[in-house]
Amino acid sequence: MTDNYTKAVNSGFTKTLAKKLGLPRPAILRRHRAGSPLTVGPVLVVSDAASRPDADALARTLLGWGVDVRREPTDDARWGAVVLVLTGAAVPTDVSGAVLTTGSVLRSLAPSGRVVTVSRATTDGDSPELAAVRQGIDAFVRSLAKELRFGATSDGIVLTDDAAADDPTALATLRFFLSAKSAYVDGQLLPVGPTPDAARAAETATTPDHATERPLAGQVAVVTGAARGIGAAIAKTLARDGATVVCVDVPAAGEALAKTTNAVGGTALQLDVTADDAGTRILEHARARHGRLDIVVHNAGIVRDKLLANMAPAQWDAVVAVNLSAQLRINAQLLAAGLEGLRIVSLASTSGIAGGKGQTNYGFSKAGVIGHTRATAPLAAAAGGTANAVAPGFIETDMTATIPLLTREVARRLPSLQQGGQPVDVAEAVAFLVSPAAAGINGQVLRVCGQHMVGQ
């Protein structure tokens, strides 16, 4: 799974050699395993003075999760994470102390450690000082992510509207960022809204998601493009989290689809998502066979890279049809069916943010996904659901394995984490976004790119 270069620079003689030569040394990232602790070491919770109440609340929650929480740096610790709470910062000078305290412990941050900021989004009507400090945190997180080494990441929770720092959604996001599930999410700031009342009630009425490790129990999920690669990983991860998964792929991919389906104990639906009635047929299958439909993951996608000057109509049209139009049509059919609480995640791409040479068609389609996700969000919210997107960067799949060696090797080393992600990294982000507790995140794009150097 891990690429050969990463393996080489992490073991034996080649490790020593790489060190001596000063070669890039991507870390072997810690990934989620059932039963493993949330972080690899104690968590330091720091804040500016005004954010102290929020920091206290988060520290209490972390203690409740069984985490070793510290409020002051100590010399002996090998830190699992630093949680930097800046929700109350009002002017730029407010954050200095907490930021520099964070800096003082970075040398003792464990491999695959985490720095997670919790701050508030800028809004219309903010004073210039307030807007300055809030916006400043954005590039602070991104810059720090580029400095961290050994698989450590830096991400931020940006509370929007009147979301509280200890809302179920904010806490679920904190947990995701601290955990090994966000291994390849780096340099990202995720806007988190208030948890809708229904989700909040469900969270408090039942055992919290994370305690059961099966937050999707009883739910039915549809994953398109599930035969292999990222889609297969998503199907497996949603099944791990308790969902019954309907695995969809084109009839021609049926052999691999059957394999994935039988591995997750779901049902296979051989269907071309570009069919006019694809959404209706998906819904019919889910309802007839499993009684309901709660989650849709639009993962099916194709590439037909060509410079625009050389682009054949079929190459443009096929990419737009599969990557974009199919999602639009299926969403329209599902929303028209009045599904309550439908959770939608669409696969975008960093190419849909930064663009890519030879990818005018792909970039258009993936940026289109981001666009329609934002527009679909309020429609989904009206029925108690959400619509979000996940934008993978370079992920190690059969698809990227076809990229010429040198190009592929360069693409792997570009992100801050200096390696490609695994399909499961994307799958974990999807599983997080469709989890009940994440109901307050809507209309967002979460990048899973190891902090790719292009775009935001």
Partner 1 sequence: MATRKPTGSASRATARAAADRAPGVRDAVIVGGNRIPFSRTGKKYSDASNQEMLTAALEGLVARFGLQGERLGEVVGGAVLKHSRDFNLVRESVLGSSLSAQTPAFDLQQACATGLEAAINVSNKIKLGQIDSGIAGGTDTVSDAPVAVSEGLRRALLDASHAKTLQARLKALAKVRPADLKPLTPSTDEPRTGLSMGEHQAITAARWGISREAQDEIALASHQHLAAAWDAGFFDDLVTPFRGLTRDDNLRADTSMEKLASLKPVFGKSLATSSEAPVEPTMTAGNSTPLTDGASAVLLSSAEWAAERDLPVLARFVDAETAAVDFVHGHEGLLMAPVHAVPRLLARNGLTLDDIDFFEIHEAFASTVLTTLAAWEDADYCKSELGLDGALGSVDRARLNVNGSSLAAGHPFAATGGRILATAAKLVAAKAAETGRPARALLSVCAAGGLGATAIVESV
Active site residues: 362
Is 252 a residue that touches partner 1 (CB under 8 A)? yes
Which span (173-181, 254-262, 353-361, 362-370) binds partner 1, by CB under 8 A? 254-262
- Contact indicator for 208, 284 with CB cutoff of 8 Å: no
Nearer to partner 1, 7 or 259 (CB): 259
Is 411 a residue that touches partner 1 (CB under 8 A)? no
Least distance (Å) from partner 1 to the CB of residue 249? Answer: 11
Is 291 a residue that touches partner 1 (CB under 8 A)? yes
Which span (1-9, 172-180, 283-291, 384-392) binds partner 1, by CB under 8 A? 283-291
Nearer to partner 1, 210 or 259 (CB): 259
- CB-based burial label for 57 (10 Å; 0-12, 13-18, 19+): middle
From the list 116, 234, 257, 430, which residue makes contact with partner 1 (rule: CB under 8 A)? 257
Is 218 a residue that touches partner 1 (CB under 8 A)? no
Is 255 a residue that touches partner 1 (CB under 8 A)? yes
Distance CA 262, CA 247 (A): 10
From the list 253, 295, 390, 438, which residue makes contact with partner 1 (rule: CB under 8 A)? 253
- If one counts every other C-beta atom within 10 angstroms of the C-beta of residue 328, the result is 17
From the list 50, 258, 328, 411, which residue makes contact with partner 1 (rule: CB under 8 A)? 258
Residue-by-residue DSSP string for 108-142:
GEEEEEEEEEEEE---TT--HHHHHHHHHHHHHHH
Count of residues interacting with partner 1 (CB under 8 A)? 21
Nearer to partner 1, 278 or 380 (CB): 278
290 three-state secondary structure: helix
State both tokens at 171.
Answer: 């806490």
Nearer to partner 1, 253 or 430 (CB): 253
Residue-by-residue DSSP string for 388-456:
EEEEE-SB-STTGGGS-HHHHHHHHHSSTT-SPBPHHHHHHHHHHHHSGGGGG--S-EEEESSS-SS--
From the list 86, 268, 319, 389, which residue makes contact with partner 1 (rule: CB under 8 A)? 268
From the list 30, 290, 304, 343, which residue makes contact with partner 1 (rule: CB under 8 A)? 290
Least distance (Å) from partner 1 to the CB of residue 292? Answer: 11
Distance CA 379, CA 381 (A): 5
Share of the chain residues as helix, strand and coil, in percent rounded to the nearest 5: 50, 15, 35
From the list 11, 143, 206, 262, which residue makes contact with partner 1 (rule: CB under 8 A)? 262
From the list 288, 382, 405, 406, which residue makes contact with partner 1 (rule: CB under 8 A)? 288
345 three-state secondary structure: strand
Q: Which of 407, 321, 396, 304 is nearest to 359 (CA)?
A: 304
From the list 265, 313, 338, 404, which residue makes contact with partner 1 (rule: CB under 8 A)? 265
Q: Is the dihedral of CA 125, 129, 130, 136 positive or negative?
A: positive
Nearer to partner 1, 207 or 262 (CB): 262
From the list 171, 247, 389, 446, which residue makes contact with partner 1 (rule: CB under 8 A)? 247
310 three-state secondary structure: helix
Least distance (Å) from partner 1 to the CB of residue 255? Answer: 5
In the region spanning residues 137 to 156, those forming contacts with partner 1, defined by CB under 8 A, are none
Which span (89-97, 169-177, 261-269, 298-306) binds partner 1, by CB under 8 A? 261-269
- CB-based burial label for 170 (10 Å; 0-12, 13-18, 19+): buried
Q: Identity (one letter) of the amino acid at 18?
A: A
- CB-based burial label for 200 (10 Å; 0-12, 13-18, 19+): middle
Which span (125-133, 162-170, 267-275, 420-428) binds partner 1, by CB under 8 A? 267-275
- Contact indicator for 67, 38 with CB cutoff of 8 Å: yes
Distance CA 174, CA 170 (A): 6
Here's the x/- map for partner 1, 153-192, by CB under 8 A: it reads as ----------------------------------------
Distance CA 290, CA 246 (A): 9
Cα torsion through 101, 102, 107, 112, rounded to 10 = 160
From the list 19, 60, 78, 289, which residue makes contact with partner 1 (rule: CB under 8 A)? 289
What backbone torsions phi and psi does residue 15 show, to the nearest 5 degrees?
A: -70, -45
Is 402 a residue that touches partner 1 (CB under 8 A)? no
Distance CA 48, CA 46 (A): 7
Which span (2-10, 16-24, 256-264, 372-380) binds partner 1, by CB under 8 A? 256-264
Which span (22-30, 58-66, 250-258, 344-352) binds partner 1, by CB under 8 A? 250-258
Is 267 a residue that touches partner 1 (CB under 8 A)? yes
Is 300 a residue that touches partner 1 (CB under 8 A)? no
Alpha-helix residue ranges (DSSP H) falling in 179-300: 197-205, 209-212, 229-240, 254-264, 278-290
Please give the residue ranges that form the binding site for partner 1 (CB under 8 A). Answer: 247, 251-255, 257-259, 261-262, 265-268, 270-271, 288-291
